[in-house]
Structures are given as C-alpha cells and as structure tokens.
Amino acid sequence: MKTILFAFVAIFILTACASTNPGTPAKSPTANRLPTATPADAPTLLPEEAVPFSQTEWKTNFKKHTLPFSDILSGGVPKDGIPALDQPKFVSTSDASAWLKDSEPTILFENNHEVRAYPLQILIWHEIVNDTVGGLPIAVTFCPLCNSSIVFDRTVAGAATTFGTTGKLHYSDLVMYDRATESWWQQLTGVAIVGDRVGTQLKFLPSQVVAFGELRARYPDGQVLSKETGYSRPYGQNPYVGYDSGAPFLYSGPPTPGTLHPTDRIVTLIVGNIAIAYPYRVLADKRVINDTLAGQDFVIFWKGGTNSALDARAIASGRDIGATGVFDRNVNGERLTFLVAGDQFKDKETGTDWDILGRGISGTLAGQQLAPIVHGNYFWFAWAAFRPDTKIYEVK
C-alpha cells in the first residue's frame, strides 16, 4: 500500500510542477468594512536561527517564527508548486453534473445568498482557492494529508490578501503564505507561524463537506468550481490512493494519543477553550448526536452517500464515508432535540423534518435554516497534534 501511495505522490509532484499556466498572483481587492483577522495572544517568538532552506524566492521575515524551522518539512514541491486558484471560474450545477458524480465530496459555502461548491476532485490538486462570495473575500483550503477542508476570511489587517502554497508542511499539514507579506500560516489552526504577521489569527467561516447530489438538490442555482482552471490536472483522480486506510504521510510530530487510529475521521469543535472530537464511526452508528458543551447547544447530523476523496484512484469510486453537519439546535428561543427520520432528521418538539444541510423541509419549521457552527472534519492524528487535550466523545 505504501509503495502505491509513494508512486502516486511522485506522480502528483511531477504533475504539480509541470503547470500549463505559471500564473501570476492576482492583485488583492480592497476590503470594505469586512471582518478582519486580529492578533491572537502575544506569540512566543523563538531566538533567531539559521534557515535550513533557500530564501531566494521569499521576502518573508524569517527572523520572526514561533516554532523551530526543523519542525517544518519540505513537501517535495517548491513555492507555488501546487498552484492556488486565484481567478476561479464557475459553472452551473447542471453543467457540473456531466463530470461530477452525485456522491462526490464538495465543500459548500454560502454568503449573502450566494452559494458556491468546490469539488475535492479539484481542491486535491490545488489546495487553495482565493475567491469572493457575496462580497466576502475568502480562501477555500484543503490539505489532503490531514483531510482538512477549511474556509477562511482572507481579510488581514483591514485588507484582503490572497494565499499560496509554500511547499512546506508542519505535522503533515499545509503551510500557506499570504501574498501581502509572505508570512507563513498553519492551515489547520489559521495562525501565522513565520513572518511579520506571526501570531495573527485568520477568521474561520462555516462550511460543510457534502455529496454533490445533496448540494445540487438543495441549491439548483448554485455555482460549482469549474475544471477550466488554466492548469492540466487529472481531475477526478486521487493521487493518494488508499491513504485514509494507512499511516500519516510526511508526519513528524508527537505520537497520536487515545484509542483512535491516526487516520480515523472525526468532527471537531472548540467551545470556549474546550476541544472535543466525535469519531465518524460513532456518528455513522447514531446518525444524530444532541449535545451541550460549555453552555452551547448543538446537534451533529451524519448521512451516508458521500465518497472518500482519499480512498480509490477514482474519487467517484471511493468508499462511502458519509457527510456531517453541525448546527445550533436553538430555534426561535426553543432548544430542539433531533431524531433520525428515514434519510432525514426530525425534531421532537415540532415534528419538523430537516436535511443534512440543516434546512427544515416539511412541518412547522419548514423553510427555516439551523445556524451552522464552525467545526472541522479531519483525521484524528492531525487534529490531536495541535490539540492533544481534545476530549473524545463517548456514547451516552
């Protein structure tokens, strides 16, 4: 299995560097009264040390960093060797259905009634899409090695920037850079770890990974990221065959705690300063978990019918891992309790039926939308490396 994985990673690296469009960074749009990233608690800077990789292509201030450079590994590609998409094109859900199967995973993001879908069959080859949705500048990111899909507000210090890939990894996770200062950012935490913006925290935005068919049925007028990217890639193929059944790749970090397998999928939440993980295998069994943590009431839905992007060579043939949604379960001042109802969900209090996207589809609250809660869908090893204090949910 490892031999197959390494072979495909080698092909991926060669393909990633053989771009048909070398690309030039798009000019950053000007933000207009949008939320901004704010500095986290004062970061602990480490003493200056020799930089163990070439600095010729960087204008990064390497004197500022919060972790030893020895903890940052080369991913085997140069700066922008995995090219971010700066001028993404979109097609209708109808046109996308010609090449995107209903069971394929897509990142769903909505803002100001504008809906966009970003198929993982494209993100797996680019890792970052710089976009603007409903007037909000965002960065849609996906790190295949950590199975981490995260959407950020790309406004920093009052102005929108764009992000690219450094070609480096920390705990197997994508290290991005912003094109304004070329500071380096940890994708999984959204914090700058090297450069002038060290310690600054990006704002996480609610998003959801769901099967394309679910998205198409709910949002027939939504827009789907086009395969016309300006790059030649085998979209639809997975360069990490069998990865989510094996061991972490290019991981150099602390041992993974707990009883979960390192590449077990989890849903993660942070409420206050409490981090908790809900294993997919528990979610697949229960399908609905109503929970309260630090005063926050929420519900987690799970529904089958979504392929793994990191299993079979053809993503559309990947095994069914299901999809999740995490929502506030308070509606109109009432705390709801959810149950499984066939392929959908039902609340006990009003009898309304709900879908995996948190939309009331029939009953008293039909047409209402549950408020989404920022969460993560990651591999356990990746999340635990950054939050080893995470509690693992136990069936009650």
Structural domains of the chain, ranges and CATH numbers in brackets: 2-225 (no CATH), 254-392 (2.102.10)
Burial 134-153 (b: 16+ CB within 10 A, else e): eebbbbbbbbbbbbbbbbbb
Q: CA neighbours within 13 Å on the CB side: how many for 235?
A: 21
H/E stretch holding 328: strand 323-328
Residues 363/352, Cβ–Cβ less than 8 Å: yes
Mean pLDDT of 11-16: 48
- Whether residue 142 is predicted with pLDDT greater than 90 in this model: the reply is yes
Mean pLDDT of 125-136: 98
H/E stretch holding 73: strand 73-74
H/E stretch holding 205: strand 203-205
Residues 217-260: tens digit of each pLDDT: 999 999 999 999 999 999 999 999 999 999 998 999 999 998 89
Phi first, then psi, for residue 280 (nearest 5°) are -60, -35
Distance between CA atoms of residues 60 and 64, nearest Å = 9
- What tokens appear for 6 in the block? 């390494």
The reported pLDDT for the residue numbered 373 is 97
- Whether residue 28 is predicted with pLDDT greater than 70 in this model: the reply is no
Give, in order, the Cα–Cα distances in Å from 179 to each of 193, 199, 246, 308. 15, 17, 35, 32
Distance between CA atoms of residues 362 and 384, nearest Å = 39
For the chain, give the mean pLDDT: 90
Residues 120/209, Cβ–Cβ less than 8 Å: yes
CB atoms within 10 A of CB 213: 18
The reported pLDDT for the residue numbered 96 is 98
At 42, the pLDDT band (50, 70, 90 cuts) reads: low
- Lowest model confidence (mean pLDDT) among 22-26, 94-98, 246-250, 327-331: 22-26
Distance between CA atoms of residues 333 and 266, nearest Å = 30
Q: Are strands 353-354 and 360-362 parallel, antiparallel or unpaired?
A: antiparallel
Residues 107-118: tens digit of each pLDDT: 999 999 999 999
DSSP class of residue 258 equals S
Distance between CA atoms of residues 268 and 34, nearest Å = 27
Q: What is the 3-state secondary structure (H, E, C) of 339-392?
A: EEECCEEEECCCCCEECCCCEEEECCCCCCECCECCCEEEEHHHHHHHCCCCEE
pTM for this entry: 0.91
Residues 193-222: tens digit of each pLDDT: 999 999 999 999 999 999 999 999 999 999
- What tokens appear for 197 in the block? 């913006």
